[in-house]
Amino acid sequence: MKLKRRVGDFRVRELLDPDYLVESGDYRVYRVTKRKLTTPEAVEVLAREAGVQPADVGIAGFKDRQGVTIQYMSVARGKPVQLHSPELKIDPAGFAREELTGDASRGNAFELNVRELSRADLKRLRTRLPESEGYGIELEFHEFSPAPHRHRDDRQRQYAAGKGRHGRLCCVRRSV
């Protein structure tokens, strides 16, 4: 079983309290999508683009550098920002009455692509999924076939032999 082989194999999406965003408020809130960047690196860019100090950017928490993450950030002052680059996308999400902190977070949703699963891996995974209930975690597993490529016959043989299966594990961890 192989994890995090590609940047897009791990995705995290921050879940905000539905009442946090409002029609108008003192804070601009941005939806920030980043690839291979830390949260502090994304904060630096947003602060620079908005013309404020990094300390003026509110976040609900730090997200993983190794993957594609979507999180929200707030800025009390500064000019409006919209940025699209391969590593970082910043889009306006709305407004808030107060700075974004962990109190506005309702958890995170995760997607993890798992590659080269054996039949035993699949069986273990399906058996253990129900154990997550009761911990505030919702899990789903979806199997998918490897993408076709030039060694297609080899991949089909591996798949038939119980090797080379791929799956996507989707998880929502809600804060209480």
Two tokens at 145?
């076939």
How far is it, in rounded angstroms, from Cα 72 to Cα 92?
10
- Based on the residue annotation, tell me whether 64 is a catalytic residue of this protein: yes
Q: How many Cα neighbours within 13 Å face the side chain of 35?
A: 11
Encode 66-104 in three state secondary structure.
Answer: CCEEEEEEEECCCCCCCEECCCEEEEEEEEECCCCCHHH
Query: Do residues 170 and 111 lie in contact, with contact meaning Cβ atoms separated by under 8 Å?
Result: yes
How far is it, in rounded angstroms, from Cα 110 to Cα 68?
10
Query: Do residues 129 and 139 lie in contact, with contact meaning Cβ atoms separated by under 8 Å?
Result: yes
Q: Of 17, 26, 64, 103, which residue is the catalytic one? A: 64
Task: Give catalytic residues, as residue numbers.
Answer: 64
